[in-house]
Amino acid sequence: MRTRNLFILLYGILAWGVILGCATTPPPGNLRLIPLQEVNLEAVFEENEGLEVTRENAKEIHDFYRGGVQQKAKAEKEFQEKSYPVAIKLYLSSNELFSTLLEYIDRDSAAYNLFEGTNIFFFPNLLVADNHLKMGRIHDAMGRKGPAYRNWKRALSLVRRSLESERTEWGLALQQKLLLLLAPKKD
């Protein structure tokens, strides 16, 4: 009888914990909105400047992230200069590096713990989404509507994944741009 009461008590405590949820995980939809001044593309680029990381010399997850960010920074420069073929190649290289790390860590974070005492902005989903947005714009400028649409759809799913882990003004603005691009055109 005593064992049965203990079992019921433990089961009740476990059930109560499940109902309340984990104390360290905020409930969905209750994430703090991180302002654009705090987290943005320029801040991510600035954090990852320095020694260039390539796919060949990337060994750890943060190497793949840094290399992806660095390739994206180069692609952004080419995009601004309208050197579209080079920009697409660099965006694809960036996405390849990010895809390696997304196999292991698929959540974005405004304070990813790189090592003791060092946090970085960690937004692989949002960065890949932005890459797809830009590649879609390039395809659209070249009159290739199908590839543009596919890139924008992929970008939208990645932005949504990013916003599930960190609500940022950057992510919400990107989502809004994509929704406008994907909206049916009225002729």
Residue 7 scores a pLDDT above 70: no
Instruction: Kindly state the average pLDDT of the residues 72-98.
Output: 97
Q: What is the pLDDT of residue 51?
A: 85
CA distance 95 to 66: 12
Q: What is the pLDDT of residue 5?
A: 65
Nearest to 147 by CA among 92, 93, 104, 187: 92
Q: What is the predicted pLDDT for the residue at 23?
A: 38
| Helix or strand run (H / E) with residue 170 | helix 169-182
Residue 20 has pLDDT above 50, yes or no: no
For the CA atoms of 145, 75, 153, 46, what is the dihedral angle to 10 degrees? Answer: -150
- Tens digits of per-residue pLDDT, 107-121? 999 988 877 878 888
Say whether pLDDT at 182 is over 70: yes
In CATH, which of 3.30.70, 1.25.40, 3.10.450, 2.60.40 is domain 32-182?
1.25.40
Q: Which one has a higher pLDDT value, 7 or 138?
A: 138
Q: What is the pLDDT of residue 12?
A: 55
User: pLDDT by residue (tens digit) across 102-153?
Assistant: 999 999 999 888 778 788 889 999 999 999 999 999 999 999 999 999 999 9
Please report, for residues 38, 97, 150, 151, the alpha-carbon distance to residue 186 in angstroms, rounded to integers and kept in the order given: 37, 38, 20, 21
Distance CA 106, CA 98 (A): 10
Looking at the predicted structure, is the pLDDT value of residue 26 above 80? no
Res 183 pLDDT > 70: yes
Mean pLDDT estimate for the chain: 87
CA 50, CA 66: separation in Å to the nearest integer?
9
At 114, which amino acid appears? L
